[in-house]
C-alpha cells in the first residue's frame, strides 16, 4: 500500500474570472501497482476571496475532471464552491472556507497518475488559496495550509 501527500503552505491567487487554473504546489502523483487497484483521494483546500467572489475548486486526474457535480444549465461544475462575502455589523470581512473532499477513484492504470486541484474565481475579483481577501499585516489576517493525500487500495 502506498500513501503520498503534498502540503501547500504558501498562497496562490486566481485573478482570471471564469477560468480554471492549476494551483501551484497542490498536486500529487502515485503509480498504482495494479490497474485494478483504487486510489483514495483526500484533501483540504483553504479558499478565500475578495468582495462577492465565488471561489470554486475542482479535483482533476491528469487532465480529466473527477468528482464534480452534474451539468445544470449555466452552472459551473466543481468539486466544491463557496461565496466569500461575509458581513458582520455592516462591515464586509473576506475570510476563508475550508473545502474538504474524499473520493475513491478507479484510474485503471499502472502509469504514474497525478491528482491536482484547480481554482476558479467565479465573479469579478480574485480568489485565493491559503489566505483571505483581507490580508493586512496584522494578527487577525490568517495564513493557512492545504493538502492532498492519495492512498492506493489493493483489489481483493
Quote the pLDDT of residue 18: 77
Would you say 46 and 129 are in contact if contact means Cβ atoms under 8 Å apart? yes
CB atoms within 10 A of CB 78: 22
Dump pLDDT digits (tens) for 12-27: 999 877 789 999 999 9
State the architecture of 3-153 in CATH terms: Sandwich (2.60)
CA 82 to chain centre: 11
From the number of C-beta atoms within 10 Å of its C-beta (0-12, 13-18, 19+), residue 23 rates as: buried
Q: How far apart are CA 79 and CA 73, in angstroms?
A: 17
So where are the chain's domains? 3-153
Quote the pLDDT of residue 66: 96
What sections of the chain are H helices per DSSP?
none
87 pLDDT band (50/70/90 cuts)? low
Q: Is the pTM of this model over 0.85?
A: yes
Quote the pLDDT of residue 148: 97
Dump pLDDT digits (tens) for 116-133: 999 998 776 788 999 988
147 pLDDT band (50/70/90 cuts)? very high
Quote the pLDDT of residue 105: 96
Q: Cβ neighbours of residue 50 under 8 Å, at least 6 residues apart?
A: 84, 94, 125, 126, 127, 133
Amino acid at each position: 500500500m502506498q500513501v503520498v501527500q503534498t502540503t501547500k503552505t504558501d498562497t496562490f491567487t486566481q485573478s482570471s474570472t471564469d477560468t480554471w487554473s492549476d494551483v501551484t504546489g497542490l498536486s500529487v502523483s502515485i503509480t498504482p501497482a495494479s490497474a485494478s487497484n483504487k486510489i483514495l483521494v483526500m484533501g483540504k483546500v483553504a479558499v478565500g476571496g475578495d468582495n462577492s467572489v465565488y471561489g470554486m475548486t475542482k479535483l482533476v486526474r491528469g487532465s480529466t475532471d473527477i468528482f464534480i457535480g452534474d451539468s445544470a444549465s449555466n452552472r459551473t461544475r466543481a468539486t466544491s464552491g463557496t461565496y466569500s462575502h461575509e458581513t458582520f455589523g455592516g462591515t464586509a470581512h473576506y475570510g476563508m472556507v475550508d473545502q474538504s473532499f474524499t473520493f475513491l477513484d478507479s484510474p485503471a492504470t499502472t502509469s504514474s497518475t497525478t491528482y491536482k486541484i484547480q481554482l476558479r474565481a467565479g465573479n469579478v475579483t480574485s480568489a485565493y488559496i491559503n489566505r483571505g481577501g483581507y490580508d493586512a499585516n496584522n494578527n487577525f489576517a490568517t495564513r493557512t495550509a492545504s493538502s492532498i493525500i492519495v492512498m492506493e487500495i489493493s483489489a481483493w
